[in-house]
């Protein structure tokens, strides 16, 4: 089967860790071993990934160095994170494949995603990014052009940016050609670098972030994939998550998933976009969108684990 695999942020960097190069390498190697297993089973794989923790580190590093180096806009930070994570995946996966005796090349594509400048998200930036600030620091930063700061916890502020819907992956043809040629492509990291496209095709980076699960769905459409495989740190999506009534979901239709989404079972910042991406993919010609863990992925592809959203 042709799979688009979306790796969650914690497949690379875990919350609460320092985020050393060694830690990130170890997590990526673990993820790569599982993905190599899917390739060894004969699946054609393309990969996308989150970048929240890495962009957070890049932003913090910039803050610390601002006396001597100019601040960079978010699109450039996103590009930096795609290179960093893509490199780690590319190397770890090629090593894992070589060990498994599978001869496939892995290539990372710096990817831009077109968004609509009229997207309502631009009217209400609400995706927190970067470090936490005290009230005094927040006041000092509030005059930076294009900055909105929210008090996310009492006395703790963070920058918030718009999270518009992904409309189109700029590099989708390159992605398709590379994948058809047999390359395992790592693309659209962090949802892709958000850009606007003028009528004449001119592209410009914007200060926003795109949800990686929603772009993963577009990538699966662009590649005509059979399955959108969203791998995260839970084995399935559930109803009544984190309550004594928790009920894991197995195979459900897009219509059922939509009803549960409307009932509020899947929050915006975490499970919501995963379920939404699977519903859209199932409705645009995909066979299934699957939400599961790295470890359960092979069994989920056989219908024996995970949450599977079908047309």
| Residue 276 appears among annotated catalytic residues | no
CA atoms within 13 A on the CB side of 58: 21
Task: Render 183-196 in DSSP notation, one character per residue.
Answer: -EEE--GGG-EEEE
Q: Catalytic: 287?
A: no
- Of 271, 294, 297, 309, the one binding ligand ADP (CB under 6 A) is 271
> Does residue 286 belong to the site contacting ligand ADP (CB under 6 A)?
no
Of 190, 191, 274, 276, catalytic? 274
| Total residues belonging to the chain | 311
Indicate whether 270 belongs to the interface with ligand ADP (CB under 6 A).
yes
Binder of ligand ADP out of 8, 166, 194, 217 (CB under 6 A): 8
Asked if residue 84 binds ligand ADP (CB under 6 A), the reply is no
| 260, 239 Cβ separation under 8 angstroms | yes
Encoding tokens for residue 22?
A: 């060694």
Among 265, 292, 293, 305, binds ligand ADP (CB under 6 A): 265
90 lies in the site for ligand ADP, by CB under 6 A: no
Residue 8 in tokens: 């969650």
Binding mask 198-237 for ligand ADP (x = CB under 6 A): ----------------------------------xxx--x
Q: Which of residues 30-59 bind ligand ADP (CB under 6 A)?
A: 50
Say if residues 35 and 12 touch (Cβ distance below 8 Å).
Answer: no
Cα 82 to Cα 109, 110, 184, 211, distances in angstroms: 8, 6, 15, 14
Active site residue 51: no
Q: Where are the alpha helices (DSSP H) in the chain?
A: 21-40, 52-64, 74-99, 135-141, 172-180, 212-222, 254-262, 271-283, 297-301
Q: Which is nearer to ligand ADP, 8 or 128 (CB)?
A: 8
Q: Which of 50, 212, 286, 306 is catalytic?
A: 212
DSSP for 255-299?
A: HHHHHHHHTT-S-TTTHHHHHHHHHHHHHTT-SEEEEEETTTHHH
| CB 83, min distance to ligand ADP, A | 20
Query: According to the binding rule CB under 6 A, does residue 241 interact with ligand ADP?
Result: yes
Q: Is 172 in the site for ligand ADP (CB under 6 A)?
A: no
Residue 209 CA to residue 287 CA, distance in Å, equals: 28
Nearest CB to ligand ADP, comparing residues 50 and 194: 50
Q: How far is the CB of 233 from ligand ADP (least distance, A)?
A: 5
17 binds ligand ADP (CB under 6 A): no
**Which of the residues are catalytic?**
9-10, 127, 212, 274
Q: What does the binding site for ligand ADP look like in residue numbers (CB under 6 A)?
A: 8-10, 50, 232-234, 237-238, 241, 265-267, 270-271
């Amino acid at each position: 089967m042709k799979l688009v695999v979306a790796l969650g942020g914690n497949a690379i960097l875990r919350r609460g860790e320092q985020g050393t190069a060694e830690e990130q390498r170890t997590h990526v190697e673990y993820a790569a071993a599982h993905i190599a297993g899917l390739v060894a089973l004969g699946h054609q794989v393309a990969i996308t990934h989150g970048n929240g923790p890495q962009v957070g580190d890049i932003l913090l590093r910039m803050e610390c160095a601002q006396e001597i180096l100019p601040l960079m806009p978010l699109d450039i930070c996103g590009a930096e994170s795609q290179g960093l994570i893509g490199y780690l995946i590319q190397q770890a996966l090629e090593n894992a494949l070589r060990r498994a005796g599978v001869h496939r090349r892995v290539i990372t594509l710096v990817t831009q995603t077109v968004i609509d400048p009229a997207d309502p998200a631009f009217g209400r930036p609400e995706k927190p990014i970067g470090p936490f600030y005290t009230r005094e620091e927040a006041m000092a930063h509030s005059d930076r052009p294009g900055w909105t700061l929210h008090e996310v916890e009492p006395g703790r502020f963070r920058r918030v940016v718009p999270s518009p819907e992904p409309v189109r992956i700029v590099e989708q043809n390159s992605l398709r050609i590379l994948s058809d040629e047999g390359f395992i492509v790592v693309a659209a990291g962090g949802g892709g670098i958000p850009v606007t496209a003028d009528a004449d095709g001119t592209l410009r980076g914007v200060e926003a972030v795109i949800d990686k699960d929603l772009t993963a769905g577009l990538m699966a459409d662009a590649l005509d994939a059979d399955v959108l495989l969203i791998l995260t740190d839970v084995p399935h999506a559930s109803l009544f998550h984190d309550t004594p009534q928790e009920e894991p979901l197995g195979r459900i239709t897009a219509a059922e998933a939509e009803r549960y989404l409307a009932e509020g079972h899947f929050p915006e910042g975490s499970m919501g976009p995963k379920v939404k991406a699977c519903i859209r993919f199932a409705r645009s010609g995909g066979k299934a969108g699957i939400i599961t863990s790295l470890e359960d992925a092979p069994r989920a592809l056989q219908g024996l684990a995970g949450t599977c959203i079908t047309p």
